[in-house]
Amino acid sequence: MYLFGTILIICGIVAASIATVSYTLVTRGNTAALAYGRAGTRGALLAVLGVVLLIMYLFLARRYDIQYVYDYSSADLEFGFRVAAMWAGQPGSFVVWALWGLLAAQLLVRRT
């Protein structure tokens, strides 16, 4: 699990970096980089969605061997509270804000 989550995060960072560099090149007149910017944005969104699904799985499967799940969940929580517990800590908050930001970015990507 740790390796899969780490790979998703690294892929998201790489994709976001590609998008950033590509859109910077577009502002300097290189319109060919626009396709790479769009692909990087979509790749970052897919990576963050993967992280969200992984965290959701860990909470719903009650994987208390994972420190984050152990800290913010318990066996007596109902389904809705376990889903909400995914965003309880600082790492979960970062993931939810990254998800919302990338969803908003998808709307902007479609307009360009």
pLDDT tens-digit readout, 41-95 = 999 999 999 999 999 999 999 999 989 999 999 889 899 898 899 888 898 899 9
Range list of H helices, the chain: 2-27, 34-60, 67-72, 79-85, 90-111
- Which residue matches tokens 């969605």? 49
> Which SS3 state, helix, strand or coil, does residue 62 take?
coil
Across the chain, what does the average pLDDT equal? 92
Beta-carbon count within 10 A of 57 CB: 11
Question: What's the pLDDT score for residue 11?
Answer: 97
Question: What's the pLDDT score for residue 108?
Answer: 87
User: 60 near 82, Cβ under 8 Å?
Assistant: yes
User: 40 near 26, Cβ under 8 Å?
Assistant: no
pTM of the model: 0.88
User: CA-to-CA distance for 73 and 75, rounded, in angstroms?
Assistant: 7
Confidence of residue 111 (pLDDT cuts 50, 70, 90): confident
pLDDT above 70 for 112: no
User: CA-to-CA distance for 85 and 68, rounded, in angstroms?
Assistant: 10
User: CA-to-CA distance for 52 and 32, rounded, in angstroms?
Assistant: 32
Whole-number Cα distances in Å, 17 to 28, 41, 48: 17, 9, 14
Question: What's the pLDDT score for residue 43?
Answer: 97
